Amino acid sequence: MANRLAHETSPYLLQHADNPVDWWPWSTEAFEEARRRGVPVLLSVGYSSCHWCHVMAHESFEDEATAGYLNEHFVSVKVDREERPDVDAVYMEAVQAATGQGGWPMTVFLTPDAEPFYFGTYFPPVPRQGMPSFRQVLEGVRQAWGERRDEVAEVAGKIVRDLAGREISYGDSLAPGEEQLAQALLGLTREYDPQRGGFGGAPKFPPSMVIEFLLRHHARTGADGALQMARDTCERMARGGIYDQLGGGFARYAVDRDWIVPHFEKMLYDNALLCRVYAHLWRSTGSEQARRVALETADFMVRELRTAEGGFASALDADSDDGTGRHVEGAYYVWTPEQLTEALGAEDAALAAAYFGVTEEGTFEEGASVLQLPQQDVVFDAERIASVKARLLAVRAERPAPGRDDKVVAAWNGLAVAALAETGAYFDRPDLVDAAVAAADLLVRLHLDDQARLSRTSKDGKAGANAGVLEDYADVAEGFLALAGVTGEGVWLDFAGFLLDHVLARFTDPESGSLYDTASDAEQLIRRPQDPTDNAVPSGWSAAAGALLSYAAHTGSQPHRSAAEKALGVVKALGPRVPRFIGWGLAAAEALLDGPREVAVVGPALDDPATRELHRAALLATAPGAVVACGTPDSEEFPLLADRVLVGGAPTAYVCRGFVCDLPVTDVDALREKVTP
């Protein structure tokens, strides 16, 4: 018999709907039930493409005896961290403070007042490698709750007080200046891996937000070292197993330092961010590899993540059926020499093995290899390789596919809108721009209510019940602003303004200018989450600062610019110390130092060839954070177009900073000079 999760829309929660555990979704009613029964709450947090979440579910939550014990002694609450990032953030902070580490599945025991008192992540079904079994943990918590309730309450109260007392240091002024950004670059240089690209050791995550900062810093200052780190990291990732060499798109991270073996789940946010990074790298360098990867990643998102409603699904699982009934990580993606021969024949299999680095020993498990491009100095027949790739992709398509998490997350779709709009504009792919418009339409139609408040998620054309958090408002605004610049449709600027007005009114501290991850009228948790550091995605704080700055450049709004400058104050404090974890904030600070530049292009019509040429040159500006408006002289869609006239009857571009403009130009080369620092 299905439990309460059967009525949810989250794919992750629905995966547990038939567990024998009597799960509750996160709700007031669940904690009231715990209070009524006098039992603690088990909070289990994960997400649908999480490998170890599936493992613990199979080992423990599908086990009748374990479920029976849970149902008798606990109220069990299951949370999808992607639907409720606020709940995840608050309790993950407690887990990390108590244990020094975190991860998913996250396992936390709470009082009926939602106060945490015992923490962990994955627990095995039997004791293993120094870890207690899940059943031992349950029995220990039950005993402590029954025999030492006052001690448990004291511990929980202390944890909540400690969390509530944490404050963020903002530095001694507003936004960072030249000195702090130079220090951030120096810090990144120290952590850079010159042999392999990227930063730090294993596991290695794609540093998309840091690369955006490096590209902007190079554009503004000419620092060759910044560009080299960005370019070399992108090249190593593109040649590694973290990149899907057949179908395009990136896996979540590499388990090794050389980018060879990925954790195979594919997330929308990673691919949106990296698609944009590679497009921007091409814009800076003209790299053919960057162009190819940007387009292949965009095509992957449209082909494999687009939903029937026009939005983009959250993720593809790491695991899939290996053809024998086993659910195995990476089974869909890896190859043995024998599988290559079966798919291609002996001669082309040998070519594919050399090209993709497939060996008898394998680079993964059980003699299988992750496809990569290890040969840098060997020239292969391009036509033959293209044929090999097409045939392997067709064979792979017959394998059991990884599961897809079909929920549409507002923030991640905002990132996808920005990436697809810009990539489509750069490479003359109107189909990609159309996909961006369709996703933006879905966000407006389904996620926005009549007061421009955002729902965090939707699925199958139905909006979820969870309110949008700061990253949703900021990233969707970012996507709308990029779309406005690409399409010349000012309605997207208007929608971005509605969202950013909510950021000012409901997410910003009016005294300090600091930002909170949840709105002032959101559900009150044990702590109002607030984190300016980037993780897998840009922090809501940094994303909001960047979007506020761009909107101010478009409109001249001083409140929005002032809010951006105040928000970037935290970058002055954190940028020199932890630059790897505040890359998006550093990128926004680069835009602030450069202006950002405001580019207005006017022509007789948007589809006029000469106007389109000027417009494209403006979009290809490397000036950090430059904003672009394009329209006719009588257009009222963009404030930047007010009083702009054609010079000599020809399409004309105006480049300004702070609404103070250089002389207008009608020549594309002259415009390029003005938008290149």
Task: Give the lowest-confidence range in 128-132, 546-550, 655-659.
Answer: 128-132
Q: pLDDT tens across 30-65, in order?
A: 999 999 999 999 999 999 888 889 889 999 999 999
Which tokens go with 196? 């392999």
Q: Is the pLDDT of residue 1 over 70?
A: no
Model confidence at 664: pLDDT above 90: yes
Return the domain boundaries, the chain.
4-164, 333-398, 597-674
- Considering the chain, what is the average pLDDT of its residues? 94
Task: Check residues 153 and 79 and name the one with the higher pLDDT.
Answer: 79
Which H or E run contains 656? strand 652-657
DSSP H or E run through 263: strand 262-263
Q: What pLDDT is recorded for position 162? A: 78
Phi-psi region of 508 (alpha: psi -120 to 50; beta: other; left: phi over 0): beta
Q: Give per-residue pLDDT as tens, 415-427.
A: 999 999 999 999 9
Using pLDDT thresholds of 50, 70 and 90, give the confidence band for residue 130: confident
**What is the model's pLDDT at position 119?**
87
> What average pLDDT does this structure show over 505-521?
93
Q: How many CA atoms lie within 13 A of 564 on its CB side?
A: 31
Give the residue from 311, 387, 315 showing the smallest Cα distance to 349. Answer: 387
Confidence check: pLDDT of 412 > 70: yes
What is the per-residue pLDDT across 182-195, written as a single tens digit (0 to 9) for each? 999 999 999 999 99
Out of 127-141, 236-250, 273-287, 660-674, least confident range: 127-141
C-alpha triplet 133, 139, 144: angle, nearest 5°: 125
Structure confidence at residue 352 (pLDDT):
96
Long-range CB contacts for residues 555-564, cutoff 8 Å, separation at least 24 = 555/493, 555/497, 555/639, 556/639, 556/659, 559/504, 560/500, 560/504, 562/513, 563/503, 563/504, 563/508, 563/513, 564/588, 564/592
In 96-146, at which residue ranges do the beta strands (DSSP E only) sit? Answer: 106-110, 116-120
Residues found in the chain: 677
**Whether CATH 3.40.50.300 fits 4-164:** no
Per-residue pLDDT, averaged over 321-341, amounts to 90
Q: What is the mean pLDDT of residues 67-76?
A: 95
Q: What is the mean pLDDT of residues 153-175?
A: 71
- How much is the pLDDT for 175? 87
Quick one: pLDDT at residue 96? 84
| pLDDT value of position 361 | 95
What is the distance between the alpha carbons of residues 154 and 90, in angstroms, rounded to a whole number?
A: 19
Whether residue 170 is predicted with pLDDT greater than 80 in this model: the reply is: no
Which amino acid belongs to residue 369?
Answer: S
Looking at the predicted structure, is the pLDDT value of residue 277 above 50?
yes
At 128 the pLDDT is 85
Q: Does the structure show a pLDDT above 90 at 550? A: yes
Taking the CB of residue 396, how many other CB atoms lie within 10 A of it?
Answer: 18
The pLDDT of residue 579: 97
- pLDDT tens digits for 559-611? 999 999 999 999 999 999 999 999 999 999 999 999 999 999 999 998 999 99
Token readout for 264 is 């195979």
Residue 166, pLDDT score: 66
Kindly state the helix (H) or strand (E) to which residue 674 belongs, with its residue range: helix 668-674
One-letter amino acid for residue 483 of the chain: L
Distance CA 70, CA 508 (A): 41
pLDDT on residue 171: 47
Burial grade of 510 (CB within 10 A; 0-12, 13-18, 19 or more): exposed
- Split at pLDDT 50, 70, 90, the class of 543 is very high
8 A C-beta contact, residue 627 and residue 550: yes
Q: DSSP class of residue 27? A: S
Tell me if residue 10 falls in helix, strand or coil: coil
Hey, which residues does 78 pair with through a beta bridge?
A: 25, 44
- Which is nearest to 252 in space by CA: 244, 263, 243? 263
Q: Which residue has the higher pLDDT, 348 or 174?
A: 348
Measure the CA–CA gap between 305 and 479, rounded to whole angstroms: 17
Q: How far apart are CA 13 and CA 370, in angstroms?
A: 31
pLDDT for the residue numbered 167: 59
Average pLDDT rounded to a whole number, residues 470-492: 98
